[in-house]
């Protein structure tokens, strides 16, 4: 067994990226993500990679587009307001079928908002990381070890499906330290990047990376092909964790840091004899429909818990589709609920 180390989520993410072959990082500092850029700035030059602090988030995402076109593993990271700036570039990356990893350590919004943890960018991450028909895979780790594992998975999925992948964390996950073991990280088989613009050596036709298609017939065909890929991702890549769902009357649905608070509240409720379970989506897109669909037949109600005014709750309602009431409880603006506060919500909804 290798030795465990104690690292912040931000630093662990950066180290995991370097270990799985990320050689290029373009960023621009913003709280509460800055330690990630800082770690990259220190480590990349020592380990044969490139770190560049761009003049803006917009510049950084376009540098990601350039590096991804050349076939290298590339990443950028930011927090909420910075991600809004990157959205144009992310749409171009999606439209060019380019693999890359984008990190959002969410903070309160809208606008400059605050710097404390939030989950109010769920809609942006899962619905509209830019204009046009398109998606990015969105992964939402809940522990620092899971940050490490999902970072590796993010790079692998990006290469397998030729798509941007977002890691959606929050300020607390970025800032907190937990023990991690880099040896435990599983890997996927990735295809060769024969589409990359690496120079023809006068031995093959030019590869072209582009998102401009003037002929509507061509564009429709390309988008439809991309959606066939999305269907495969939805069928094969959804990830979630379930706890205590065998006999559940009330199902908590929460992701990331909120899922940890929900787990604490669930354990407190169980000690009081309340049949409470938890479904924790790990992929937010594709949204894990299976466990919620199954539980819709048996559970009496659902309670979606988020650090927002209610965003993921809409995906839960789409799956449950009227078969049981789906309630929502959230805090926003950088506030986190306590387990006791959530337990009171659970008790109220179960009529206790």
Partner 1 sequence: MSATRMMLAGFGGQGILFAGKLLAYAGMLANKNVSWLPSYGPEMRGGTANCAVIVSDEEIGSPLVPAPDVLLALNLPSFEKFEPAVEAGGLIVFDSSLIPQTSQRTDVTVCAVNATSMASDEGLNGLANMIMIGKFLRASGLFDLDTVFRALEKCVPPSKAALLEKNKQAISLGYNA
- Cβ proximity of 334 and 108 under 8 Å: yes
C-alpha to C-alpha distance for 247 and 328, rounded to whole angstroms: 21
> 223-238 b/e with 16+ CB inside 10 Å = b?
eeebeeebeebbeebb
**If binding is defined by CB under 8 A, does position 317 make contact with partner 1?**
no
What are 281's two structure tokens? 């989506």
Using rule CB under 8 A, residue 274 touches partner 1: no
Using rule CB under 8 A, residue 175 touches partner 1 = yes
**Which CB, 239 or 336, lies closer to partner 1?**
336
Among 45, 112, 127, 177, binds partner 1 (CB under 8 A): 177
**Is the CB of residue 285 less than 8 Å from the CB of residue 137?**
yes
Does 32 sit near partner 1 (CB under 8 A)?
yes
- The reply on whether position 291 binds partner 1 by CB under 8 A is no
Q: Is 27 in the site for partner 1 (CB under 8 A)?
A: no
Does the footprint of partner 1 cover residue 176 (CB under 8 A)? yes
Dist. CA 329–CA 334, nearest whole Å: 15
For residues 32 and 36, what is the distance between their CA atoms, to the nearest angstrom? 9
Shortest reach from residue 156's CB to partner 1, in Å: 26
Q: Which is nearer to partner 1, 310 or 339 (by Cβ)?
A: 339
Per-residue binding letters, 135-174, with partner 1 (x by CB under 8 A):
------------------------------------xx--
Overall residue count recorded for the chain in this entry? 352
Smallest distance from the beta carbon of 112 to partner 1, in angstroms?
13
Instruction: Find, among 164, 189, 203, 187, the residue nearest to 67 by Cα.
Output: 164
Give the binding site for partner 1 (CB under 8 A). Answer: 4, 6, 31-32, 115-116, 171-172, 175-179, 257, 260-265, 267, 336, 338-340
């Amino acid at each position: 067994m290798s030795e465990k180390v104690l690292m912040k989520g931000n630093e662990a993410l950066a180290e995991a990226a370097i270990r799985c072959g990320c050689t290029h990082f373009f960023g621009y500092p913003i709280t509460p993500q800055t330690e990630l850029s800082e770690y990259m700035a220190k480590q990349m030059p020592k380990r044969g990679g490139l770190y560049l602090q761009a003049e803006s988030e917009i510049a950084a995402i376009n540098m990601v587009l350039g590096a991804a076109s050349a076939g290298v593993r590339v990443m950028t990271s930011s927090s909420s307001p910075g991600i809004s700036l990157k959205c144009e570039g992310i749409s171009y990356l999606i439209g060019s079928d380019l693999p890359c990893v984008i990190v959002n350590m969410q903070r309160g919004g809208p606008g400059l908002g605050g710097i404390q943890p939030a989950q109010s960018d769920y809609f942006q991450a899962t619905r509209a990381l830019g204009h046009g028909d398109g998606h990015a895979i969105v992964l939402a780790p809940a522990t620092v070890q899971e940050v490490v594992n999902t970072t590796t998975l993010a790079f692998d999925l990006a290469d397998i499906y030729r798509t941007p992948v977002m890691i959606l964390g929050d300020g607390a996950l970025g800032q907190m330290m937990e023990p991690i073991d880099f040896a435990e990280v599983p890997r996927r088989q990735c295809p060769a990047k024969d589409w990359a613009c690496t120079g023809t050596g006068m031995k093959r036709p030019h590869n072209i990376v582009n998102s401009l298609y003037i002929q509507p017939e061509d564009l429709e065909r390309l988008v439809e092909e991309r959606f066939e890929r999305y269907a495969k991702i939805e069928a094969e890549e959804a990830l979630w964790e379930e706890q205590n769902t065998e006999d559940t009357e009330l199902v908590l649905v929460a992701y990331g840091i909120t899922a940890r608070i929900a787990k604490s509240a669930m354990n407190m409720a169980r000690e009081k004899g309340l049949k409470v379970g938890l479904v924790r989506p790990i992929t937010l897109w594709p949204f894990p429909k299976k466990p919620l669909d199954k539980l819709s037949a048996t559970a009496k109600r659902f309670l979606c818990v988020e650090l927002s005014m209610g965003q993921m709750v809409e995906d839960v309602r789409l799956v449950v589709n009227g078969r049981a009431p789906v309630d929502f409880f959230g805090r926003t603006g950088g506030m986190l609920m306590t387990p006791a506060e959530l337990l009171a919500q659970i008790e109220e909804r179960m009529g206790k």
